[in-house]
Amino acid sequence: MHPNRLFRWEDRDAMRDFVAQAGFGALFAATPDGPRVAHVPVVWLDGETLGFHLARGNGLARHLDGAGALFTVLGPDAYVSPDWYGLGPDEVPTWNYVSVELEGRAVRMDRDALTAQIDALSQVNEARLAPKPEWTRAKSDPARIEKMLDAIIGFRLEVQAWRGTLKLGQNKPDAARESAAHHLDTQGRRAVAHWMRNIK
């Protein structure tokens, strides 16, 4: 999280939606072998709990049950040239970005909960592909699904701390921020420009 309070994002509903839309991020935890990270798809199981799974052979998997963990999602980001603000020679380069960090306790799921998490994860993502007919487990050989489930371990992340960052030039005058957003548009960084224009 950025230390400047201007950039803090504290709207939990908006952060929850941001994480849901991304559906993917990095999970960090300390292990006896040193810090480890896994890149995982996630799904909200309820308003305060994320579901995810790891390959059984992942270096994090055997140490995660009951451990503290940090899940991060990085949204749009871009380098911002000081020339783009039009404020004179005393500006410096920066990087604008959107991110959310969720800290909590990871708890291993049983087989039924893992199956439900896989179903929820596929259902959320298949819905985004409409009008394509939805893929479900019922379309696969049950033996193949059971073998896949044997190869992974499901976890819940019980979120205890939410930290969001919207570093989008809020410390600049509106006209300067709009100027930088315009230049980002011309560089193909439209998502960052959109966030900059819509920050409240």
User: What is the domain extent for residue 49?
Assistant: 5-198
What is the share, in percent, of the chain residues with pLDDT greater than 90?
95
Q: Is the pLDDT score of 1 beyond 80?
A: no
Mean pLDDT in residue range 93-122: 97
Q: How far apart are CA 125 and CA 121, in angstroms?
A: 6
What whole-number distance in Å separates Cα of residue 50 and Cα of residue 200? 27
The total of structural domains in the chain comes to 1
Q: Mapped to the 3 state alphabet, what secondary structure does the chain carry?
A: CCCCHHHEECCHHHHHHHHHHHCEEEEEEEECCEEEEEEEECEEEECCEEEEEEECCCCCHHHCCCCEEEEEEEEEEEEECHHHHCCCCCCCCEEEEEEEEEEEEEEECCHHHHHHHHHHHHHHHHHCCCCCCCCCHHHCCHHHHHHHHHCEEEEEEEEEEEEEEEECCCCCCHHHHHHHHHHHHHCCCHHHHHHHHHCC
Q: What is the CATH number of the domain that holds 101?
A: 2.30.110.10
Average pLDDT over every residue of 73-80 = 98
| Per-residue confidence (pLDDT) for residue 121, from 0 to 100 | 96
Q: What is the mean pLDDT of residues 137-145?
A: 92
For residue 73, CA distances in Å to 70, 89, 197, 199 come to 10, 34, 21, 18
Crossing angle of helices 111-127 and 142-150, rounded to 10° = 110
Q: In this predicted model, what pLDDT tens digit does every residue of 11-49 receive, in sequence order?
A: 999 999 999 999 999 999 999 999 999 999 999 999 999
